[in-house]
Every structure is written in C-alpha cells, then in structure tokens.
Amino acid sequence: MMASIKLEGLEKTYPGGVQAVKGVDLEVADGEFVVLVGPSGCGKSTLLRMVAGLETISAGALYIGKRRVNELEPAQRDIAMVFQNYALYPHMTVFDNLAYGLKNRGFKRDEIRRRVEEAARMLEIEAFLPRKPRQLSGGQRQRVAMGRALVREPAVFLFDEPLSNLDAKLRVQMRVEIKRLQRRLKTTSLYVTHDQLEAMTLGDRLVVLNGGRIEQVGTPMEIYARPASLFVATFIGSPAMNLLPLGALLSGPGAASHGALLGDLPPGTGILGIRPDALRLEAPHGPHLTLSATLELFEAAGAESHLHVRLAGSGQPLVIRTAGQPAVAEGQRLHFHITRDALHPFHRETGRRLDDTLKTKEQAA
C-alpha cells in the first residue's frame, strides 16, 4: 500500500507556549521523497513527529492517503520511523528488533522469518541477525534501524536525521544507499536533516523551513537556482551565497559602468545575491560586471579553491569558488567578473526574491 501525505495548516504549540510549527501546508505525492531542511530549532522534528503521531496536532489537518489521521495512534497510521539515535531495543537481538513490529501485528512465524530475512538481505545485515545492538558498529546499527522500518512495508517512511551520528564517509555511503532503496521500494518518504548537501542530493523535492514556517518548496535545483528569500539563499549551497548591498556596487570604482548594467533591476532591490562560483576570474563573453578586490585568504580544497576577498572601496567580504588552483597570492589585487544573469535580486526590506525578468529558463532546469 502506498500513500500520499497532505498537511493542511498544521500548527504545534507546546505546553508552555512555544509555537514550534506555525501553519504548514504541504502535499507529498505517492512515492515521492521529500526532505525537510532548516536550521536547528526550526521545527523539523516537531513536524515529522506530528506526522508520526508522536506529538499531538494543535491545529490543522493531516491526511495519509485518503484518511484524516489527526487522532490516530502512531501504530494505526501505517508509517515507520528511523530515529536519529536509532532507538534499537537493546535487550533484543537484531532479528527480534526487526520482528517486533510484525509480532505485534499478529503475523505468522514463517511470514515474519521470511520478511526479516528479506530485509536483512537487502541491507546486508544477515550476519548480524543473532547479535544484540551493542555488538554492532554505528553504521551497522543504522542499517538495522532501516531494516526495522522497511520490514513492515509501511505506506510512509519517516526519517529524523538518521545519518547525523555517522562519520563523514559512512554518511555519504548511507545517503546513496537510502536513495537507492527508496527508488526501489517507491515508498513515500519524509526525511528531516539540517545538512543542506544531504537535502540536495536525497530529495525529489525540498521543503526549507525557518522558524516554524515554510520558506520555499521545490526541487533541489529550483531552490538552488531561484532561492525565494535571503534565508534560503544563504542556507542552501556551500560556500554560502554572497550577499552584496546594491549600494556597494553603485559606489566605488567602476560604479558608472555598473549603473548601466544594473539599471533594469526590479524596483525595490536592495541586496544582490551571487553564488561563489558565479564570480569568474576570466572575463566572459557578453555584458558583465567587473569588480576589483583584495585577496585575503586562499583555501585550496582539492579539485576547487575558495578565495576570500574584500571588495575595493566598500570593503565588502566575498567568497569566490574556482575550479583547480589559480596562480594567485594572498594580498594580491584581483579582478573578477559576473554576468548579469547570475545576480539574484532581493527586496531591500522583506528579503524576498524579486522576480527577475532577465532570468532565463535553462538556469532553472
């Protein structure tokens, strides 16, 4: 059985008055992998736990499939959840951990054995079935936690930062595996993380949360290419998008030539966002801005390098990302270039993105 999820004006106020979720509307299609991403304390876990039935819903409606599930117990919602700390039952073997949910639902012994073994094979944890969780490594426990979720073949998977206790290498490996597994099982999934890279690579769609509200919903590339607000702009992408006050470009060296190119910015533009890789050391063809800055710090990161510079005149700090290792020295005066369409205009007060008519379609793709 598969199912869509629908959140209608979902709100959560904790006893004591903290409003953790302030009205969230969201639809997750059948089989879709949606990632909730946002900074610590933005209400991601709260939202997920409301879907799971572990937190009561203060206001709004929640549908899984066709059913309104606001008042249903977690067990009746046909969901499975993978916890950050895995929450494996420490006194049971791996086999019993996986079998527990099936036993409680009255499955036959043969069926339980068949399903547990199948899940164990899929996750390559067959060898650990007779062991207790404490006899496993972090990565192996993570697999067992996944196994416990998928052995029940639920309509929805919920993940609350399942990879955050793993080391960097294992995290990448498990990330790929989760994605592969979800592709194969086509189970509707909601995945919480505060890691923007994890979010970008895993999700069919991302939901960026901030302070209990949705900032933006879209495919990873939509969000990367057209962040809806300053918050999203700086949260998604690493190194973070540079933010330049428009004034810094309209004064200082070369201001006159900038004025001509920036004349068609939407009214109200106060801040320009520029991705670090949109700042080029070689002049591109076609119209572009040229800025000069002093190199303060050079970071070589293997295939790419990060140049921390300070804009001549206004003294604004910027980060530039280039491929390879350009021949530059700290303290050097550099010139770099931006094409007009790499500028993201944001409103000077609200910080919302201003629709930029010059944006071409292929950038969003």
Partner 1 sequence: MQTKRMTFPGRWLPYALLAPQVIVTLIFFIWPSLQALYMSLLREDAFGLNSTFVGLANFARLFADDTYLDSLSVTAMFAIGTTLLSMSAALLLAATVNRMLRSRNAYTTLLVWPYAIAPAIAGVLWWFIFNPSIGIVPYALEMLGYRWNHRTSGNDAMMLVIIAAAWKQIAYNFLFFLAGLQSIPQSLIEAAAIDGAGPVKRFWTIVFPLLSPTTFFLMVVNVVYAMFDTFGVIHATTQGGPSQATNTLVYKVYADGFVGLNLGSSAAQSVILMAIVVLLTVVQFRFIERRVNY
Task: Give the footprint of ligand ATP on this chain (CB under 6 A).
Answer: 14, 16, 18, 20, 38, 40-46, 194
**Location of structure tokens 């959560």:** 12
Beta bridge partners of 318: 309
CB of 184 to ligand ATP, least distance (A): 28
Rg of the chain in Å (alpha carbons) = 24
Tokens representing residue 94 in the block: 């791996």
- Taking CB under 5 A as the binding criterion, the range among 13-21, 38-46, 88-96, 289-297 that sits at the site for Mg ion is 38-46
Task: Give, as one character, the DSSP assignment of residue 139.
Answer: H
Tokens representing residue 166 in the block: 């793993």
Interface with Mg ion, residue 314, by CB under 5 A: no
CB of 169 to ligand ATP, least distance (A): 22
CB of 355 to partner 1, least distance (A): 43
Most distant CA atoms of the chain, gap in Å: 79
> Which partner, partner 1, ligand ATP, Mg ion, none, binds residue 199 by CB below 5 to 8 Å per kind?
none
- Taking CB under 5 A as the binding criterion, the range among 45-53, 233-241, 273-281, 318-326 that sits at the site for Mg ion is 45-53
Q: How far apart are CA 47 and CA 12, in angstroms?
A: 8
Interface with Mg ion, residue 45, by CB under 5 A: yes
CB of 149 to Mg ion, least distance (A): 18
CB of 14 to ligand ATP, least distance (A): 3
Backbone phi, then psi, for 136, in 5-degree steps?
Answer: -115, 155
> Which partner, Mg ion, ligand ATP, partner 1, none, binds residue 144 by CB below 5 to 8 Å per kind?
none
Nearer to Mg ion, 63 or 83 (CB): 83
3-state secondary structure 252-316: CCCHHHHHHHHCCCCCCEEEEEECHHHCECCCCCCCEEEEEEEEEEEEEECCEEEEEEEECCCCC
> Which partner, partner 1, ligand ATP, Mg ion, none, binds residue 220 by CB below 5 to 8 Å per kind?
none
Q: Interface with Mg ion by CB under 5 A: which residues?
A: 45
